[in-house]
């Protein structure tokens, strides 16, 4: 972090520096007042609420009136010894891992394919069409999946035509992961390819010229020039993605799962959601906050680690 | 170079085009299906599930119902209210933050910058945020959908990058002429970063339009729910939320299947009509966002 003006305190008095800074930048500070109010009310005040993770929080008593948990790590211990703990950790890493394995390379392949097309109109049309699903809301996407996966829906019809049997795919634990990953690719492949297309357009054209002279065909050029040209940006995005490994798209899981698929679909955030907003019984606010804090901390650790690796290997970092 | 009809290059290009066309079909067909189904009569949908290539028994009945049903209407009304109030707040806060982060020689910038960026990586989580909304008295009001997400730090970094890309001389000469920061921001900076503002409007707008989770935990009354949450009830929970609110139950039952498709179309079409025109701008926005993290 840079500290440009602070060193001047040696020569001027601090109040003089303050007065000068205010005189120069007062409107900048005044414009920031609503932003600071927002940050305090909606970002920092909830952080104070994290105290709940170390309390036996009762909503009727509030944070100041609730008793401390004994021992202080009670809810964290409770979470780790929870019978569902192995299941939700496994599912979180599996869904996240599968997304990285399949959804991450898909837009790279798409960008390479689009790059091979010479016809400008066709190229632009493919781009516009593949960007579209990104703008479809999660509710609508999951609603569409619901309609297609029904007992008599599109997928069953296709399965029957191919000699299989009709079934409700969303009710079966066997298909949840496939549905989750394939729909993720469908929705994001175009949007995520934008960055790779931009990187491709920055590759030096002379390299292709030289390769052509050496007799390389388009496919060889793609493998030997375009793909290596993309490696730096691929590395950065991959490291960033690994940094958010616990961030499973929980909104989508919430919309798609049901008790019959909890075994493969229940992740950390959906479990916290059910603890906090149970259909019956008392909400477990303290435990849920503790899990949330655990999740955030693991994410921060992952992010800092991957950022450090990224800094060392690719010279690019978030901070 | 001689041109052969069947060189390895032309075969390769042909394969690429075939794959891309297949991808486009896979992308478009589900949406085409929804569109056909929305114009198809309910009886046909129930008796012929599966592949639809065109509307059958063309009817606008489900659209009529969707556009007159009180709960769907209130859903559209609520989301429009949210957008109308949110977007100006979002853009102003983002602009102020971007301008501040792009400014130089400001004594407290490092402190504030840290305070802003810290929120990107650390947050209270679901329950503290929920109880905070209750404490502030926003529970079960539309403000609960507007205020908690009023500023996206990520978007303000995009805005900051756009402002930094402007030549310094512009704002410097203005400030020598005696213009204060507010004049500089609104008279000089804002007109120059209009394309970025368009992208930010798209990002925030799509975000609000498609959001449902906050409304699901912060709102209690069905009449206050935005359209996505009404859709969630119809499409995913298969609830009879429409029946209970409608006077004409028969009509709802008559279109039970096809009204799903009509509402999907009505909530998706507005965005699908806007984004192609903003394409060249959001491509830029994605790049800035990715470069900066």
Residues A126, A17 share a domain: no
Distance from CA of A317 to the nearest CA of B (A): 8
Query: Which burial class, exposed, middle or buried, applies to B47 when counting CB atoms under 10 A from its CB (0-12, 13-18, 19+)?
Result: exposed
Mutate to test the interface with B, among A18, A22, A42 (most CBs of B within 10 A): A42
Query: Which residue intervals of chain A are DSSP H helices?
Result: 14-39, 45-48, 62-65, 74-80, 85-98, 105-116, 120-131, 138-149, 154-161, 176-201, 205-213, 218-221, 227-243, 250-256, 262-265, 268-276, 285-314
Residues A224 and A287 in one domain: yes
Q: Which of A28, A50, A295 sits opposite B128 (nearest CB)?
A: A50
Which residues make Cβ contacts (< 8 Å) with residue B204, sequence separation at least 6?
B86, B87, B90, B91, B94, B152, B155
**What is residue B126's three-state secondary structure?**
helix
Q: Which residue of A has its CA nearest to B157?
A: A318
B290 to chain A: nearest residue by CA? A195
CA distance B105 to chain A (A): 7
Cβ–Cβ < 8 Å for B71, B242: yes
Chain-chain contact of B235 with A147 (C-beta, under 8 angstroms): yes
Strands A55-56 and A67-68, sheet pairing? antiparallel
Pair (A19, A104) in one structural domain = no
DSSP for residue A67: E
The SS3 of residue A55 is: strand
Which tokens sit at A232?
Answer: 């730096």
B117 touches A at CB < 8 Å: yes
Residue of B nearest to A152 (CA): B49
Are the C-beta atoms of B153 and B117 separated by less than 8 Å?
Answer: yes
Judged by a CB distance cut-off of 8 A, whether residue B293 touches chain A is yes
Looking at the structure of chain A, the number of domains it has is: 2
Could you tell me which chain B residue has the CA closest to the CA of A129? Answer: B24
Reduce the DSSP state of residue A56 to 3 states and report it: strand
Residue A279 within a domain: yes
Instruction: Tell me whether residues B264 and A140 touch, CB distance under 8 A.
Output: yes
Closest Cα in chain A, distance from residue B250 (Å): 22
Closest residue of chain B to A319, computed from CA coordinates: B293
Which residues make Cβ contacts (< 8 Å) with residue B236, sequence separation at least 6? A139, A142, A143, A146, A255
For residue A278, the chain B residue with the least C-alpha distance is B217
A68 belongs to a structural domain:
no
pLDDT in tens, A169-215: 888 888 999 999 999 999 999 989 988 988 888 888 888 889 989 88
Distances from the Cα of B249 to the Cαs of B25, B46, B213, B241, in angstroms? 38, 18, 28, 11
The C-alpha atoms of residue A217 and residue A222 are separated, in whole angstroms, by 9
Q: Which of B131, B147, B185 sits opposite A49 (nearest CB)?
A: B131
Distance from CA of A94 to the nearest CA of B (A): 23
Are A211 and A294 within one domain? yes
Nearest neighbour of A32 by CB, restricted to B112, B121, B124: B112
Q: How far apart are the C-alpha atoms of B95 and B185, rounded to whole Å?
A: 8
Residue A14 and residue A160 share a domain: no
SS3 B287: helix
Exposed e or buried b per residue across B278-293, where buried means at least 16 C-beta atoms within 10 angstroms of its C-beta: eeebbbbbbbbbbeee
pLDDT at A138: 92
Partnered with residue A55 across adjacent β-strands are A68
User: What pLDDT was estimated at residue B243?
Assistant: 63
Q: What are phi and psi of A56, to 5 degrees?
A: -95, 80
Phi, psi of A68 (to 5 degrees): -70, 150
Tokens found for residue B54: 């065109």
What is the torsion angle, in degrees rounded to the nearest 10, for the CA atoms of residue A226, residue A229, residue A230 and residue A232? 170
- CB half-sphere exposure, B32, CA atoms < 13 A: 11
CATH number, domain of A140, equals 1.10.3720.10
Both A249 and A100 in a single domain? yes
**Interatomic CA distance for residues A151 and A146, integer angstroms:** 10
A116 closest CA partner among A220, A232, A209, A213: A220
Alpha helices in A162-284 (DSSP H): 176-201, 205-213, 218-221, 227-243, 250-256, 262-265, 268-276
Tokens of residue B131, six digits:
């109880």
pLDDT along chain B (293 residues), means of 10: 65 91 93 87 73 78 83 91 96 95 89 91 88 93 94 90 85 83 90 88 90 93 91 78 57 72 88 84 70 48
In residues, how long is chain B?
293
In this structure, is residue A73 part of a structural domain? no
Say yes or no for a CB contact (<8 Å) between A152 and B283.
no
Report yes or no: B30 at the A interface, CB cutoff 8 Å: yes
Which residues, listed in sequence order, are joined to residue A68 by a DSSP beta bridge? A55
Asked if B127 and A294 touch (Cβ cutoff 8 Å), the reply is no
Residues of A in contact with B275 (CB under 8 A): 131-132, 135
Phi (first) and psi of residue A55, to 5 degrees: -125, 165
B128·A42 Cβ contact <8 A: no
Its pTM stands at 0.86
CA distances from B228 to A250, A252, A264, B266 (A): 17, 13, 26, 11
pLDDT score at B293: 41
Domain match, A37 and A155 both = no
Using a CB-CB distance cutoff of 8 angstroms, which residues of chain A are in contact with residue B129?
42, 46, 49
Pairwise CB contact (< 8 Å): B16 & A117: yes
Of A50, A130, A156, the CB nearest to B27: A130
Q: Do A292 and B283 touch (CB under 8 A)?
A: no
The CA radius of gyration of chain A, in Å to the nearest whole number, is 26
Q: Determine the structural domain holding residue A22 and report its residue range.
A: 1-42
Q: Which residues pair with residue A67 across a beta bridge?
A: A56
List per-residue pLDDT tens for chain A, 319 residues long.
455 555 544 556 888 888 988 888 889 999 999 999 999 999 999 999 999 999 888 888 888 888 888 888 889 999 999 999 999 999 999 999 999 999 999 999 999 999 988 888 999 999 999 999 999 999 999 999 988 888 878 888 888 888 888 888 888 888 999 999 999 999 999 989 988 988 888 888 888 889 989 888 888 889 888 998 888 888 878 877 877 777 788 889 999 988 888 889 999 999 999 999 988 888 889 999 999 999 888 888 887 888 788 778 766 665 6
Out of B49, B206, B267, the one facing A153 most closely (by C-beta) is B49
Domain for residue A319, yes or no? no
Asked if A176 and A170 touch (Cβ cutoff 8 Å), the reply is yes
Among B residues 214-273, those touching chain A with beta carbons less than 8 Å apart? 217, 228-229, 231-232, 234-236, 260, 264, 267-268, 271-272
CB A170 within 8 Å of CB A256: yes
Q: Which domains does chain B have, with CATH numbers?
A: 1-59 (no CATH), 61-291 (1.10.3720.10)
Q: Which residue of A has its CA nearest to B17?
A: A117
By Cβ distance, the residue of A29, A46, A154 closest to B124 is A46
Contact criterion met (CB < 8 Å) for B180 and A27: yes
Half-sphere exposure of A39 (CA within 13 A, CB side): 20
- Residue at A72 is within a domain: no
CB-based contact A122 B126, cutoff 8 Å:
no
Give backbone dihedrals phi and psi of A67, rounded to 5 degrees, phi first. -80, 155
Give a yes or no: residue A196 inside a domain. Answer: yes
Q: Is B6 an interface residue toward A (CB < 8 Å)?
A: no
Q: Is B169 exposed, middle or buried (0-12, 13-18, 19+ CB in 10 A)?
A: exposed
Whether B107 and chain A come into contact, CB under 8 Å, resolves to yes
Q: Inter-chain contact A144–B23, Cβ cutoff 8 Å?
A: no
| Tokens of residue B180, six digits | 């204060």
pLDDT for the residue numbered A245: 79
> Hey, which residues does B63 pair with through a beta bridge?
none
CA distance B185 to B175: 11
Q: What are phi and psi of B121, to 5 degrees?
A: -105, -20
Would residue A58 count as lying in a domain?
no
Q: Say if residue A163 is in the same domain as residue A280.
A: yes
Tokens of A73: 């790590």
Distance from CA of B122 to the nearest CA of A (A): 7
Residue B34: CA atoms inside 13 Å, Cβ hemisphere, count? 25
Cβ-defined contact of B126 to A272 (cutoff 8 Å): yes
Q: Please check whether residue A293 lies inside any domain of the structure.
A: yes
Same domain for A159 and A36? Answer: no
């Amino acid at each position: 972090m840079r500290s440009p003006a602070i060193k001047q305190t040696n020569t001027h008095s601090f109040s003089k520096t303050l007065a000068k800074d205010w005189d120069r930048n007062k409107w900048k500070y005044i414009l920031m007042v609503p932003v600071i109010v927002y940050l305090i009310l909606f970002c920092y005040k909830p952080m104070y609420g994290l105290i709940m993770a170390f309390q036996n929080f009762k909503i009727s008593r509030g944070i100041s009136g609730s008793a401390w948990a004994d021992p202080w790590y009670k809810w964290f211990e409770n979470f780790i010894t929870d019978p569902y703990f192995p299941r939700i950790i496994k599912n979180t890493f599996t869904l996240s891992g599968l997304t990285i394995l399949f959804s991450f390379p898909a837009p790279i392949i798409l960008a390479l394919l689009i790059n091979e097309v010479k016809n400008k109109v066709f190229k632009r049309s493919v781009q516009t069409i593949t960007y579209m699903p990104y703008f479809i809301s999660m509710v609508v996407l999951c609603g569409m999946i619901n309609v297609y996966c029904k007992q008599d829906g599109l997928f069953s019809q296709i399965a029957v035509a191919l000699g299989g049997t009709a079934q409700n795919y969303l009710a079966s634990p066997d298909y949840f992961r496939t549905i989750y990953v394939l729909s993720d690719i469908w929705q994001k492949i175009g949007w995520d390819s934008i960055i790779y297309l931009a990187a491709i357009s920055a590759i030096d054209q002379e390299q292709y010229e030289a390769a052509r002279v050496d007799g390389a065909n388009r496919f060889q050029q793609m493998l030997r020039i375009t793909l290596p040209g993309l490696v730096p940006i691929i590395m950065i995005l991959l490291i960033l993605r690994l940094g958010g490994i616990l961030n499973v798209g929980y909104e989508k899981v919430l919309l798609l799962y049901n008790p019959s698929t909890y075994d493969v679909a229940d992740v950390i955030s959906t479990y916290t959601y059910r603890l906090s907003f149970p259909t019956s019984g008392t909400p477990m606010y303290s435990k849920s906050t503790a899990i949330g804090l655990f999740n955030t901390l693991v994410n921060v650790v992952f992010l800092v680690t991957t950022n450090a690796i990224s800094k060392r290997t690719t010279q690019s970092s978030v901070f | 170079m001689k041109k052969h009809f069947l060189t390895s290059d032309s075969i390769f290009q042909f394969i690429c085009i075939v794959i891309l066309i297949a991808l486009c079909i896979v992308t478009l067909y589900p949406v085409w299906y929804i569109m056909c189904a929305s114009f198809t009569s309910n009886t046909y949908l129930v008796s012929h599930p599966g592949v639809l290539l065109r509307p059958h028994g063309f009817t606008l009945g489900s659209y009529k119902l969707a556009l007159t049903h009180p709960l769907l209407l209130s859903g559209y009304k609520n989301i429009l209210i949210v957008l109308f109030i949110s977007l100006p707040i979002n853009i102003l806060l983002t602009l102020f933050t971007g301008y501040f982060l792009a400014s130089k020689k400001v004594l407290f910038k490092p402190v504030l910058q840290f305070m802003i960026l810290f929120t990107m990586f650390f947050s209270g989580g679901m329950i503290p945020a929920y109880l905070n909304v209750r404490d502030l008295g926003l529970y079960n009001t539309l403000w609960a959908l507007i205020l908690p997400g009023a500023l996206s730090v990520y978007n303000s970094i995009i805005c900051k990058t756009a402002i930094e890309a402007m030549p310094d001389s512009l704002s410097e000469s203005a400030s020598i002429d005696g213009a204060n920061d507010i004049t500089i921001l609104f008279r000089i900076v804002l007109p120059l970063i209009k394309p970025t503002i368009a992208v930010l409007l798209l990002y925030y707008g799509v975000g609000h339009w498609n959001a449902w989770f906050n409304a699901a935990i912060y709102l209690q009354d069905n009449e206050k729910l935005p359209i996505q949450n009404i859709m969630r009830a119809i499409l995913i929970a298969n609830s009879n939320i429409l029946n209970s609110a409608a006077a004409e139950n028969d009509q709802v039952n008559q279109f039970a299947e096809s009204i799903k498709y009509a509402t999907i179309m009505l909530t998706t079409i507005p965005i699908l009509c806007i984004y192609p025109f903003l394409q060249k701008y959001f491509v830029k926005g994605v790049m800035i966002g990715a470069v900066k993290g």
